[in-house]
Structure 1
Amino acid sequence: MAFPQIRSPSFLSDCLVAFRRYPAITTVAGAATLVAATALVNRKLAKKALRDNPPQGRFVNINGVRLHYVERGNGRPLILFHGNGSMIQDFESSGLIDLAAVNYRVIVFDRPGFGHSLRPRNVVWTPEAQADLFKKALDRLSVQRAIVLGHSWGASVAVALAIRHPSFVEALVLASGYYFPTARADVAASSVPALPGLGDIISYTISPILSRLMWPVMLRKVFGPRSVPEKFAGFPKEMAFRPSQIRASAVESALMIPAASASSKTYSELDMPTIIIAGEDDRLIDINEQSVRLHDEVKQSKLHRIAGAGHMIQQSATPDLMAAIDEAAAETCISGDAAQRSAEA
C-alpha cells in the first residue's frame, strides 16, 4: 500500500516566510536573541574571572556592604585607595604593598563595586559616602589614625575621609587626582553604562566586548608616555571586564565632575600634611589644572612632579610614590613635635 508523501516546510523556509510577513517583529526577535546570547556569554566569562581570581584577603561587612581588603605588615597604619575601574591587584602588582609593608601596617580595600567588594544600588557612592563607609570599616579593624593614600578617583575618597574625619587622617598622599571640575567629553561617553535600565543592558552585552577591544588603547593612554611595565601583567584584566565592575566604573565616571565641584569647596579645611604627586606627562588629567592648583589651595601641601611619568605613577614610578609616603610620615612626626613644644610652652 502506498502512502502519500507529506512535504513539511523547512525551518529556513518558515523563517523567510515570517520575515516577509512580519519584518519588524522578526528583526526585533532576532536582536533580542542576540542580546540574550551575548549576556549569557558575558555572565559566564565574569564567573570564570571570579574563579580564576579568588579573594586574596578578608572581608568585613559594614551596613550591608561586603568589603574585601588585604592587610600586610606592621607599624603605622597606611590605607591605600585605588582608582576608578581598578582593584587591589593594581597596588599588588606594582610592588607598592610589599615595599610599604616593610615599615607600615598596610590596608588596601577593593572599593565598592570593584574587585570582590559589593556595591549596593540603594546608595549613591560619592567620595563622601565611601569615606564614611571606610571609616566604619577601619574602626572595625581597630585603626584609630592613619596615613591615607589615594590614586586617581581614590584620591577623592582620601580627601573626603580627611575632610569628614580629620582626626583620623594623620597625613594625605594624593596621586594623579582629579580635584576641580573641567569640561570632559570622555566622561560622557564612559558614563553610558550607568544609565538606568539601558545601562544594564549595555553593561551585560556591548561594554565587555568594547572594553576588551579598547584595552590596549586605554593602557597606552594611562601609562603613556612610558610603556606598560611587565609587572602589570599581574593585574587581572578579566575582572575589570565583568558587567558589574563596568557599571561601577561608569557610575564613578558620571560622578567625577560633580564630585570634584562639591569637594573643591572644602580644600581649605585640609590642615594635615599633604603630599601631592603627579606625572608630568599625564595624558588623562591636566596636572596644572588639578595637582598644581590643589597645591596652591592647600597650605600644608608639598607637590612632586614626576618627569616622564603618566597617570599610573603607582606602577611606573613606584619608588617615587613610596618616597612620598615616607615623606608624609616624616611630616606628621615634625608636626607632632611642633605641637608638643607649643603645648609645653
Structure 2
Amino acid sequence: MDKRDKWMLAGAALAAAFAVVHMKGRQAERALPPSGRFMEVDGVRLHYLERGSGPVLVLLHGNAAMAQDYEAAGLVDRLAQRYRVIAFDRPGFGYSSRPRGRFWTVEHQAALLLKALQQLEVADGLVLGHSWGTLVAMAMARLAPGVVRGLVLVSGYYYPTVRLDAPLQAGPAVPLLGDLLRHTISPLLSRLLWPVQVWRMFSPTPVPPSFRRLPKWLSLRPLQVRASAAESAMMVPTVALMQANYAGLVLPVVLLAGRGDKMADAQHHSGRLHRELLQSELQLVDGGHMLQHFAQDEIVAAVDRVAARRPGLAFPRPRRSDMCRT
C-alpha cells in the first residue's frame, strides 16, 4: 500500500467515524428531546427546566452532564413540591449553545446565569451545584451575594491535585485538531471507555436505572465533547485561582459528599472547604460521586436546611466526631 492509499484509507475511516458520531447523536436527541424552555442571553441559547412554585432553587449540573440528569434522578419533581426549581443546561451541555471566541470560565458562566435569572425575574434564591457546577455556584454567590441566599454543594472538587486524566481529556478543546477529534475519534473512544468512567463515577454504589435511562450518546455529541474537554483542562487551574476567595463566602452552605467518591476525595475537598467556611455544614454519605442518583433524601433535606437559615446566621458547629455522620 503506497502513501496515497494510506491517506485515502485514513480519510475514509474518519468519514465513517463522522457519520457514526452524528447518526448516534441524532438518535440520542430523538430519544431524549429537550423537555424545558429556551431563552437567549448574551448570544447564548440557554435551555432550562422550570418546575414548581415557591422559593427559587437553581440547579447546576457537573461536567459531561446536563439538567435532565437531575430530572432523570427524580430530584426536579421532588424539589418542585415546595420550590420553584430552575435547572439550567450550562453553555455547551445538554441543549444549550456555547459560542466560540469566549473563554468559558466559571465567572463567565456565573455572570451569564445571573443575567438569565434576571430575565426570569428572580430576585433571590438558593443554588445547588454538583461537581463542576459547585464552582459556578460559588462564583455566582461571589458576584451577586444579594441574589444567592445559600448554597448546596454536592460532590465538589475545590483544591488542586495531580490529575493525570485532565490533560488526556483536553484534546477535543484544542482548536482545529480538537474539532477533527470531537467529530470523529473522541466520541467513539469515549463510548468504549464509558463503562469504566461510569463505574468510577458511581463506585462503590451500583449504577442505578435512573442513570441508565439517559442516552449515552447525548453526552458524546461533538458540542458537548468540546465543552467537557475544555472544563477538564480548566479544572485544576480554576480551583487554584478560586481557593483564595473561599473564606469570603458569608452565606449558609451545606456540603454533601460521598465517602467513597473516586472523582473528588470527600475529606480533601468537602472536608477542607467546610473548615474554611464559617457558615457551613458538612454531611458525608455512603457512596460515590453521583449523589443525585442515590442520595435524594439527603439532598432535599440539605436544601431545606439552607432555606431555613437566615443570612448571617451560622450553622451550629458539630463535634469533630459527628462531622461525618449521615
TM-score, length basis structure 1? 0.88
Cα shift at 1:269: 1.2
Equivalent of 2:170, from 167, 191, 205? 191
In structure 2, what is the equivalent of residue 16 of structure 1?
none
Q: Does 1:312 align with 2:260?
A: no
Cα shift at 1:290: 0.8
Letter in 1 for 2:191: R
Letter in 2 for 1:109: F
SS at match of 2:85: strand
Cα shift at 1:45: 2.0
Q: Does 1:270 align with 2:254?
A: no
- In the aligned structure 1, how far is the partner of 2:92 from the partner of 2:55? 28
What do the CA deviations read for 1:234-272 (whole angstroms, capped 9, x no partner)? Answer: 323221111111111011101111111111111111000
Worse overlay, 108-117 or 238-247:
238-247
In structure 1, what is the equivalent of residue 20 of structure 2?
41
Equivalent of 1:109, from 88, 91, 99? 88
- In the aligned structure 2, how far is the partner of 1:199 from the partner of 1:75? 44
Letter in 2 for 1:88: A
SS at match of 1:325: helix
Q: What does 1:196-345 align with in structure 2 at a 5 Å threshold?
A: 196-306=175-285, 308-332=286-310, 335=313
- In the aligned structure 2, how far is the partner of 1:120 from the partner of 1:86? 18
Q: What does 1:51-200 align with in structure 2 at a 5 Å threshold?
A: 51-200=30-179
What do the CA deviations read for 1:70-125 (whole angstroms, capped 9, x no partner)? Answer: 10001000000000000112101111111100110000001111110000111111
SS at match of 1:332: coil
- In the aligned structure 2, how far is the partner of 1:233 from the partner of 1:28? 39
- CA contact under 8 A between 1:74 and 1:103: conserved in structure 2? yes
- CA contact under 8 A between 1:171 and 1:332: conserved in structure 2? no
Letter in 1 for 2:210: K
SS at match of 2:107: helix
Worse overlay, 151-160 or 235-244:
235-244
Cα shift at 1:232: 1.8
- CA contact under 8 A between 1:226 and 1:309: conserved in structure 2? yes
- In the aligned structure 2, how far is the partner of 1:156 from the partner of 1:110? 15
- CA contact under 8 A between 1:180 and 1:264: conserved in structure 2? yes
Letter in 1 for 2:182: S
- In the aligned structure 2, how far is the partner of 1:74 from the partner of 1:59? 19
Letter in 1 for 2:100: R
Q: Which runs of 5+ in 2 are unaligned?
A: 315-326
Letter in 1 for 2:23: K
- CA contact under 8 A between 1:145 and 1:167: conserved in structure 2? yes
- CA contact under 8 A between 2:40 and 2:46: conserved in structure 1? yes
In structure 2, what is the equivalent of residue 339 of structure 1?
none
TM-score, length basis structure 2? 0.93
Report the structure number with the largest CA radius of gyration. Answer: 1
SS at match of 1:266: helix
- In the aligned structure 1, how far is the partner of 2:77 from the partner of 2:313? 27
**Quick one: percent identity of the two aligned structures?**
46
Q: Number of matched residues?
A: 314
SS at match of 2:56: strand
- In the aligned structure 2, how far is the partner of 1:298 from the partner of 1:31? 54
What do the CA deviations read for 1:294-336 (whole angstroms, capped 9, x no partner)? Answer: 1111111111111x21100111111111111111111137849
- In the aligned structure 1, how far is the partner of 2:206 from the partner of 2:29? 28
- In the aligned structure 1, how far is the partner of 2:72 from the partner of 2:270? 25
What do the CA deviations read for 1:160-179 (whole angstroms, capped 9, x no partner)? Answer: 00011111110000000111
- CA contact under 8 A between 1:89 and 1:234: conserved in structure 2? no
Cα shift at 1:206: 1.3
Cα shift at 1:135: 0.3
Q: What root-mean-square deviation, in Å, do the aligned CA atoms of Structure 1 and Structure 2 show? A: 1.4
SS at match of 1:265: helix
Letter in 1 for 2:293: Q
- CA contact under 8 A between 2:279 and 2:313: conserved in structure 1? no
- In the aligned structure 2, how far is the partner of 1:227 from the partner of 1:233? 11
- CA contact under 8 A between 1:77 and 1:105: conserved in structure 2? yes
In structure 2, what is the equivalent of residue 15 of structure 1?
none
- In the aligned structure 2, how far is the partner of 1:49 from the partner of 1:219? 18
